[in-house]
Amino acid sequence: MNSDTSIGKISQLLRVILLAFLAVAFSLVFWTVLRAPAILARDDNPRRVESELRIQRGNILDRTGALLAESQPVGETFVRHYPLPAASPVVGYYNLRYGTAGIEENLDAYLRGETGSFWQAQQRDLLHAIQTGRDVRLTLDADLQARADTLLGERNGALLLLQLGANGEAARILALASHPGYDPNSLDENFEALSSDEAAPLLNRVTQGQYQPGPVLQPFILAAALDRGIVTLDEAVDHANRPVIVNGTATYCASSPPAAATWADVLAHRCPGPMQDLAEEMDAAALRAAFNGFGLTEQPELPLNTETAVSNPISRTDLALIGQDTLVVTPLQVAVAWAALAEDGRLPALQLIEDLQSDTGEWVTPQPPAEITTTAVHPEAARAVRQTLPTDNQIQAFSTLVLSGPDGSTNGWYLGLTPEQDPAYAVIVVLENSSALADVEGVGRGMLTAVRTP
Amino acid sequence: MRLFALEEAQEQNGRRQGALLLIVAAFVLVNAIGLSLAVDGALRWQHLWAPAVWLLLMGAAHGVLHRFKPQRDPFFLPLIALLTGWGLVLIDRLAANFLARQVIWLVLGTAVLLTIAILPRNLRLLRRYRYTWLTGGLLLLAATLLFGVNPSGYGAALWLPVPLIGQVYFQPSELLKLLLIVFLASYFDEREALLSTSRQQGWTGILSYLAPLLLMWGFCMVLLVWQRDLGAATLFFIVFLALLYMATGDGRFVLAGGGLLLLAGVFAYFAFDLVALRIDAWWNPWPDADDRAFQIVQSLYALAAGGVLGQGVGQGFPVYIPVVHSDFVFAAIAEEWGLVGSLGIVMVFVLLAYRGMRLALLARRPFQRYLAAGITILISAQAVLIMAGVTKLLPLTGVTLPLISYGGSSMLISSAMMGLLLYMSGVSEEIRQ
């Protein structure tokens, strides 16, 4: 040996080398093509964060075009900025670490600009073009939203202001406030504290807060009773101010009714006692139908996360009639029921999106919410109840304290409409742990005054 | 007639090499311009000066080889040019602060390559003083035990500071790769006949196999134990086994050598944390993706992100991979040039292997045959080890991708090896003619 042997072995060694390179080639195909989708989808892949940071999300605007959320460029990336933190219950947040909420969550694909065709997306990926989202214009009014936030102040509670639609149009949400709230600009620093806070500042109390309704149900139950001919408003009522004991706590009328009171007085003075008399003629099924009719057992459709209220079967009709049974409601549900009374019994749809920007940059009005043909009560019944409500400076209101816990704590509720003849705006306010009706009335009236005199 | 035919063949060689270099130059310059546009949005000199220097160097190399080595293999220089040019674009992309230093190493490497390629009788010098070279290399390696440092401040101390020049380091194990191949080529050249007949001589004959085998294995173990240089130890042993197989044609000893390598691997797994970490990270990196297996997991993310066509130069995120410019440059190629680009690199090394082994086949003298095969096997094995490591086919061994990765010693020694191949290609072609 000999050279011939070594020459022969060179070919074999070359084959071994080529096989080794072939194995590398197969391994490349495996990772770059076959396994790539699974690998890229892993949460700890930093490229996901990098590509997220490079998306220029669309702006969120109020109805006048004022900025509520924008993406500000920082080098090659973008940072989300919220000029009006008070709008966070609606706008929500977009955060790489903590995800999304509110409109940022519900219109995420739209704001990210993922509405184009498959080929547009491929072209964008190939050219590394900046992914630009579409703008969204809300029905919200930045000034009114800021005002709502100011009116709630340091108190925990919820406020919803609606612009009622004419001719069957949807009711537009002008302001939606929830306290305590959070500043979406500083989530990175505060999220842990916010999520562990017992006051639940991340909870949207308007859409997710579940409250015992108490006397808040009174206008709706009475409207249903009127509608079914069970009572008339001028019908006399015995002992209107008699006490009702709930969990050992006696509740009375909010104000003193006349000695010879009628059902109109019961409503005007928010008396719980006579409501229980209706049990003889409104059984659980009828009561349930009334709640369903006013939309109190289901959540309205909104591009926000909403909580379906617990709607267990009615266990005691006498308690259900004074809102102390199984039914709990969100302020959003009460707002729809209240708007139904304002709109002569027609249950309105709610609108939060005013316009969406198209791929070509034009504003397009989205498909209006399917018209709800449900009528809670006949117009006469709705108008009769409205006319019974106390009126002051063109504002009609129903306010009450609701027993909300075994310790006797109460929540203040304010349901207001303006103007009185043909209501254009409705407001719902809840103040938690409030024992002074004047507080919640002040907030509600302040909001309605603000919307009437911008 | 024969003279005319020779001149024509030489001219054809020059034209072929020139045409291939033009294609390579176009590729490198397009990528350098692409990088500048992607990173700065405009043409910036900071991204173009290094490719310009590279272009001058390759142009000069083309001219020198055409003038002094007309019979050389016309494929080697374009392949070297592609690897080094692509490497410069990558270093600019991944670790721009090392670019100037790498360009200096490239200038030195090209000078070494040309010197070795055109100087006559350099093989005789290598062969005659093989023990001196090897001893010198081993002494330098041993010096790292006393004076070794790691320029990055952590990890194995495999470098020696170059005297009188601040912040410049040399890795003796790189030099030793070449010296060992020279030594082995010379050894097998002399012992070829003896080795081939030793099988008929009983235990004495077997010992003549086993003695160098065990000696080499022992040396690699020393390297592994003292220096934790898993990559160099593996490479030395692979080259040795391949050349032993070439010399003897006996596969059993190769199998035995493979067994010893495996044994060393098992020992190292239990003895050294670094080896255990690399093997664990190779076997299942996902549970430790944020910590000990971070590097390989980031490499796999880069491969996946590259897909078929890649993200485009300067537009991926390969810098998430720690020391991407050195050990993981192949992952960066896969991310930014995709499967197409990374398979292209594989093909370049396949071509290098093919041309190198062809050179060995054509060599008339055993020393040249062993030397050409040894160099080719070393470069191929090094490329396979790091590419397989980056793609999780094998555990990581921490070697560089020849002529591409950042690393002065590697660049210098790889250039010297390519210079030897070029030198021998000229010789063998002359002999063939």
Which residue ranges form the domains of chain A, and what is each CATH number?
142-181+202-353+369-452 (3.40.710.10)
Would you place residue B251 in the very low, low, confident or very high pLDDT band (cuts 50, 70, 90)? confident
User: Each residue of A299-332: pLDDT tens digit?
Assistant: 888 888 877 655 678 888 888 888 888 889 999 9
Q: How confident is the model at residue B198 (pLDDT cuts 50, 70, 90)?
A: low
Predicted confidence at residue B202, as pLDDT, reads 60
Report chain A's mean pLDDT, rounded to a whole number. Answer: 89
Q: How many CB atoms lie within 10 A of CB A103?
A: 27
pLDDT at residue B432 greater than cutoff 50? no
Q: With an 8 Å Cβ cutoff, are A10 and B301 in contact?
A: no
Evaluate if residue B115 carries a pLDDT over 50. Answer: yes
Query: Does the beta-carbon distance from A1 to B248 stay under 8 Å?
Result: yes
CA atoms of A52 and A339, how far apart (whole Å): 41
Check residue B164 and give its pLDDT: 59
Q: Report residue B168's pLDDT band, with 50, 70 and 90 as the boundaries.
A: confident
**Cβ atoms within 10 Å, residue A123:** 12
Residues in A closer than 8 angstroms to B353, CB to CB, are: 14, 17-18, 21
The model's confidence at residue B399, banded by pLDDT at 50, 70 and 90, is confident
pLDDT in tens, A87-125: 999 999 999 888 899 999 999 989 998 766 777 777 777
Kindly state the tokens that stand for A163.
């612009």
Closest residue of chain B to A126, computed from CA coordinates: B311
Chain A partners within 8 Å of B305 (Cβ): 36, 40, 47
Give A9-48 pLDDT, tens digit per residue: 899 999 999 999 999 999 999 999 999 999 888 888 888 8
Q: List Cβ neighbours of A14 (8 Å cut-off, separation of 6 or more).
A: B353, B354, B357
**pTM for this one?**
0.73
Percent of chain A with pLDDT over 90: 57
What does the DSSP assignment read for A137-204?
EES--HHHHHHHHHHHTTS-EEEEEEEPPSTTPPEEEEEEEEES---GGGHHHHHHHHHH-TT-TTS-
CB contact, 8 Å: B58 with chain A?
A: no
Q: What is the pLDDT of residues A328-367, one digit of tens each?
A: 999 999 999 999 999 999 999 999 999 999 888 888 887 7
- What percent of chain A lies above the pLDDT cut of 70? 96
Alpha-carbon distance B249 to nearest alpha carbon in chain A (angstroms) = 6
**Concatenated DSSP letters of B88-143:** HHHHHHH-GGGHHHHHHHHHHHHHHHHHHHHSTTHHHHHHHTHHHHHHHHHHHHHH
Residue B12 has pLDDT above 70, yes or no: yes
Q: What is the pLDDT of residue B429?
A: 47
Q: What is the pLDDT of residue A1?
A: 43
Q: Which of residues 240-269 of B touch A (CB under 8 A)?
A: 242, 245-249
Q: Distance between CA atoms of B288 and B326, rounded to whole angstroms?
A: 23
Q: Residue A24: which of B338, B346, B360 has the nearest Cβ?
A: B346
pLDDT band at B194; cut points 50, 70, 90: low
Helix axes B99-118, B408-432, angle to 10 degrees: 30
pLDDT recorded at residue A438 = 93
Q: Which of B190, B300, B365 to mutate to test the interface with A (most CBs of A within 10 A)?
A: B300
Q: What stretches of B228-313 show up as alpha helix (H) in DSSP?
A: 230-248, 251-271, 273-283, 294-306
Inter-chain residue contact B366 with A23, CB threshold 8 Å? no
Taking only the tens place, the pLDDT of each residue in A134-187 is: 999 999 999 999 999 999 999 999 999 999 987 778 899 999 999 999 999 999
Report which of residues B335 and A366 the model is more confident about: B335
Q: Is the ipTM of this complex over 0.90?
A: yes
